[in-house]
Amino acid sequence: MGTMGGEQVEEAVAGAVALLRTAVDRDWEAARAGRLEWSCRYTAEHIAGDLLAYAGQLAGRAADAYVPFEITLDDGTGNEDVLNVIETTGALLSATLRTTPREVRAFHPYPFRSANREGFAAMGVTEVLAHTHDIAEGLGLAYEPPAGLCEGVLTRLFPHVQPGTDPWRTLLWATGRGGLPGRAPLTAWRWNNNLVIPAERLTLQGVTPAAATGLAAGGDGGFLWVEGGPFQGTRDAAGMLLKAYEAGVHRPEWGMFVLVRTEDGRAVGGMGFHGAPDEDGRVEVGYDLAVSARGNGYATEALRALSAWALEREEVASVFATTDPGNTASQAVIVRAGFTRVADDEEQFAYELRR
């Protein structure tokens, strides 16, 4: 699965504008935009405003809040002019995405208060697709964007939504805009940017289904890896994440993370949970490192950060880990991270860290 960036924003905007240009002579103020309470005109202005806001957030590296500005159109701006503004703001977001380094994150409230360039690209595309649908519905136009755009959005912003056979219908359902066989209608929804947990020299970056697809297939998942990475365990974990996603039981915050070195943006390994906490509040963790990254304390540092994050959640009482009796290096990592051995036999040693 390819990246999500400026090219995809441009594709979404071009398709939307081409369709809406066929109806610029209509009264967009009088027509309600689909199921929204907004007019078609206000909805079109909203698309432009969102594209500009995302460009501003990312370009300005906003850390804690929205940058306090908004777009205002001149009096007398016609429908065709609004489309020109959408094209312009789309171009601004696209240019920002192309010039922003991969490791940069900026503020967005949902759900973990930040997003990277792929997240902002996916949010921009979602705004264009969803609100063009609203306007088209209000004006009686037929609209269906490319399936690849819809799938790209779903695998980055909606990892909690089970994929369907029709990505566009699935995206409409996920944004509360239509029915899907076998699924109850949604009255409220939010997208889900990936969770990033900071450590001392690393960040633990949540793996989306889009990234997991690449890793499981033998690719890099969109990460820059140290020599020899990723290790096979990371690829196997990515495959398990995809199975959970396809089954509709994936909970992103209890999934998989790639360990990225802060100093150079290189990925050194993978770490994650085997699933959500069980009924006793126990969650199990596993990890691996690329051979070239071992011996630097990265695994210990990441395990401390991930365990601390988990134990701050109300539903977690303990973090659990197992290792082979002969894997003394892994045992040392677990002990240095504060775990205590609670069971052992000929096949496995078990460790636990309680709140």
Q: What is the pLDDT of residue 346?
A: 79
Helix (H, G, I), strand (E, B) or coil at 295: coil
Sorting pLDDT into bands at 50, 70 and 90, what band is 230?
very high
Strand-pairing partners, residue 340, are 352
**Is the predicted pLDDT of residue 2 greater than 80, yes or no?**
no
pLDDT in tens, 13-44: 999 999 999 999 999 999 999 999 999 999 99
- Secondary structure letter of residue 227 according to DSSP: T
Q: What are φ and ψ of residue 201, in 5° steps? A: -115, 0
Distance CA 171, CA 161 (A): 9
Average pLDDT for 236-262: 97
Q: Is 116 left (phi over 0), alpha (psi -120 to 50) or beta?
A: beta
For the chain, domains (ranges, CATH) are: 6-174 (1.20.120.450), 196-354 (3.40.630.30)
pLDDT in tens, 81-120: 999 999 999 999 999 999 999 999 999 999 999 999 999 9
pLDDT in tens, 280-330: 999 999 999 999 999 999 999 999 999 999 999 999 999 999 999 999 999
- Are 323 and 285 spatial neighbours (Cβ–Cβ below 8 Å)? no
Average pLDDT for 244-267: 97
Q: What is the mean pLDDT of the chain?
A: 97
CA 90 to chain centre: 20
pLDDT in tens, 106-165: 999 999 999 999 999 999 999 999 999 999 999 999 999 999 999 999 999 999 999 999
Q: Where are the alpha helices (DSSP H) in 22-116?
A: 40-59, 79-99
Residue 324 CB: number of other CB atoms within 10 A?
Answer: 11
Torsion on CA atoms 108, 303, 252, 148, rounded to nearest 10: 80
- Integer-rounded Cα Rg, in Å, for the chain is 22
Q: What is the pLDDT of residue 347?
A: 87
Residue type at position 150: C
Sorting pLDDT into bands at 50, 70 and 90, what band is 345?
confident
Q: What is the pLDDT of residue 1?
A: 61
- Cis bond upstream, residue 325 (ω within 30): no
Please state, for a pLDDT cut of 70, what percent of the chain lies above it: 100
Distance CA 293, CA 269 (A): 8
Provide the token pair at 293: 């990254």
- Are 131 and 48 spatial neighbours (Cβ–Cβ below 8 Å)? no
- Secondary structure letter of residue 318 according to DSSP: E
Distance CA 238, CA 216 (A): 5
